[in-house]
């Protein structure tokens, strides 16, 4: 089953009972996210700010307290402030790290607050009332299917992975499950830490070792920026194509413009934070019943649909 980005499409799961009617005073929604330490997180922050503006306009009796943190300790301290000082009624949080934030979020839950978790799940999923995330296996599968089709099921590829995490494993395993059934040869795969500089270094190594590379699965658009730089420095931009992911505006624009080097992209949209805020606010302010899980599609971005995923004012 596929899920579109919007309030109408929710994952199949257990229904959550409607919240009780609100008091006359403003309700407060706390939102805690990581600071804009890289491109995707910058986009996350931008979409959160846009959602705050839109939701406070839509619901005059709603106040949104949005805080950012550069590490797990700061984020845990922010949660205490949101409960004790801001008196939040509900929390939307994308944990900086899963394990260190599990107990602090549990304390918020024990204080009687609604909990929406985004992307990086806690080590104890029973704490959450709602979970919103991207579809990592689908991201790997959609990437593989595009590359297999474009390459005619044969050729040489290299893979730049993210970091050693469950998320990366889900993407990689789903990708390989499809590719291994073809005549496409994976020359090598290395971690590039979802980072532009590491992407550049890893791709330089691949280019020096492999004289024939037909395609690159960079998995992540921050990595893709480094890969593009390395390929151009080596003068091999006419020899291959690159498929990244996440929906960075620069990559979406390249797809819109039919750039042969970047013919497509696969979404892992930072806009999921806005979806989580919208769902939670709707539950708070309209007593709307929700389901337990909302999974955002890893949509394949092509020249035909790229315009609808292009946010020129976003930092990502």
Q: How many domains does the chain have?
A: 2
Which tokens go with 96? 């900086």
List the CATH number of the domain containing 150: 3.40.50.2300
pLDDT range class, residue 168, cuts 50, 70, 90:
confident
**This model's pTM is above 0.85:** no
Please report whether residue 167 resides in a domain.
Answer: yes
- Co-location of 121 and 20 in the same domain: yes
- Co-location of 145 and 236 in the same domain: yes
Please state, in angstroms and rounded to a whole number, the distance separating the CA atoms of residues 23 and 240.
Answer: 60
- Co-location of 235 and 277 in the same domain: no
SS3 at position 142: helix
Least confident of 27-31, 167-171, 284-288: 167-171
Q: What is the mean pLDDT of residues 236-242?
A: 97
- Does 150 or 121 have the greater pLDDT score? 150
Please state, in angstroms and as integers, the Cα–Cα distance from residue 66 to each residue in 43, 166, 268, 309, following that order: 15, 28, 22, 24
Flag whether pLDDT at 4 surpasses 60. no
Predicted pLDDT at 170: 87
In the sheet that holds 154-161, the strands lie side by side as: 183-191, 154-161, 215-217, 241-243
SS3 at position 111: coil
Spatial neighbors of 23 by CB under 8 A, at least 6 apart, are none
Pick from 61, 62, 65: nearest CA to 84: 65
Please report whether residue 160 resides in a domain.
Answer: yes
- Co-location of 66 and 149 in the same domain: no
- Co-location of 152 and 124 in the same domain: no
Please state, in angstroms and rounded to a whole number, the distance separating the CA atoms of residues 179 and 45.
Answer: 35
Please state, in angstroms and rounded to a whole number, the distance separating the CA atoms of residues 279 and 234.
Answer: 47
- Co-location of 130 and 275 in the same domain: yes
- Co-location of 36 and 180 in the same domain: no
Flag whether pLDDT at 19 surpasses 80. no
- Co-location of 93 and 170 in the same domain: no
Neighbours of 107 (CB within 10 A): 14
Residue keyed to tokens 């599990």: 102
Please state, in angstroms and rounded to a whole number, the distance separating the CA atoms of residues 105 and 110.
Answer: 9
Predicted pLDDT at 169: 87
- Co-location of 49 and 68 in the same domain: yes
Average pLDDT, the chain: 90
Spatial neighbors of 209 by CB under 8 A, at least 6 apart, are 187, 188
Q: Are 119 and 148 in contact (CB under 8 A)?
A: no
Please report whether residue 2 resides in a domain.
Answer: no
- Co-location of 188 and 241 in the same domain: yes
Flag whether pLDDT at 18 surpasses 60. no
Please report whether residue 246 resides in a domain.
Answer: yes
Pick from 77, 84, 134, 135: nearest CA to 101: 77
Please report whether residue 309 resides in a domain.
Answer: no
Q: What is the mean pLDDT of residues 200-209?
A: 98
pLDDT tens-digit series, residues 22-37: 444 899 999 999 998 7
- Region of 265 (left: φ > 0; alpha: ψ -120 to 50; beta: rest) is beta
Please state, in angstroms and rounded to a whole number, the distance separating the CA atoms of residues 281 and 286.
Answer: 8
Please report whether residue 9 resides in a domain.
Answer: no
Flag whether pLDDT at 121 surpasses 90. no
Please state, in angstroms and rounded to a whole number, the distance separating the CA atoms of residues 133 and 119.
Answer: 4
In the sheet that holds 130-134, the strands lie side by side as: 62-69, 27-34, 90-93, 114-118, 130-134, 293-296
- Does 209 or 291 have the greater pLDDT score? 209
Please report whether residue 38 resides in a domain.
Answer: yes
Least confident of 75-84, 115-124, 274-283: 115-124
- Give the rounded distance of the alpha carbon of 153 from its chain centre: 28
- Co-location of 143 and 261 in the same domain: yes
Predicted pLDDT at 104: 97
Q: Domain containing 197: what range?
A: 136-266
Flag whether pLDDT at 8 surpasses 70. no
Predicted pLDDT at 226: 97
Please report whether residue 314 resides in a domain.
Answer: no
- Co-location of 262 and 141 in the same domain: yes
Q: Are 278 and 314 in contact (CB under 8 A)?
A: no
pLDDT tens-digit series, residues 78-105: 999 999 999 999 999 999 888 899 999 9
């Amino acid at each position: 089953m596929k899920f579109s980005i919007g309030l109408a499409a929710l994952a199949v799961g257990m229904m959550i009972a409607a919240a009780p009617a609100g008091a006359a005073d403003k309700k407060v929604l706390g939102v805690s996210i990581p600071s804009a330490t890289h491109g995707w997180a910058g986009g996350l922050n931008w979409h959160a700010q846009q959602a705050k503006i839109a939701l406070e306009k839509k619901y005059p009796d709603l106040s949104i307290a949005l805080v950012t943190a550069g590490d797990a300790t700061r984020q845990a301290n922010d949660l205490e402030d949101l409960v004790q000082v801001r008196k939040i009624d509900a929390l939307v949080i994308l944990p900086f790290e899963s394990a260190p934030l599990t107990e602090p979020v549990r304390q918020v839950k024990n204080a009687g607050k609604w909990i929406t978790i985004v992307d990086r799940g806690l080590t104890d999923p029973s704490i959450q009332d709602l979970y919103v995330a991207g579809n990592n296996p689908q991201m790997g599968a959609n990437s593989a299917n595009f590359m297999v089709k474009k390459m005619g099921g044969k050729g040489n590829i290299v893979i730049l992975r993210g970091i050693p995490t469950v998320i990366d494993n889900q993407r990689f395993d789903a990708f390989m499950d499809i590719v291994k059934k073809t005549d496409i040869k994976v020359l090598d795969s290395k971690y590039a830490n979802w980072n532009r500089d590491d992407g550049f270094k890893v791709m330089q190594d691949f280019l020096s070792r492999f004289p024939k590379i037909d395609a690159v699965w960079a998995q992540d658009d921050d990595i893709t920026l480094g890969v593009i730089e390395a390929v151009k420095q080596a003068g091999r931009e006419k020899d291959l194509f690159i498929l990244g992911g996440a929906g960075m505006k620069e990559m979406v624009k390249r797809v819109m413009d039919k750039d042969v080097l970047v013919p497509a992209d696969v979404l892992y949209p930072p806009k999921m934070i806005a979806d989580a805020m919208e769902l939670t606010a709707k539950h708070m302010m309209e007593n709307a019943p929700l389901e337990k899980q909302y999974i955002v599609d890893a949509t394949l971005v092509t020249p035909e649909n790229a315009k609808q995923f292009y946010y020129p004012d976003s930092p990502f």
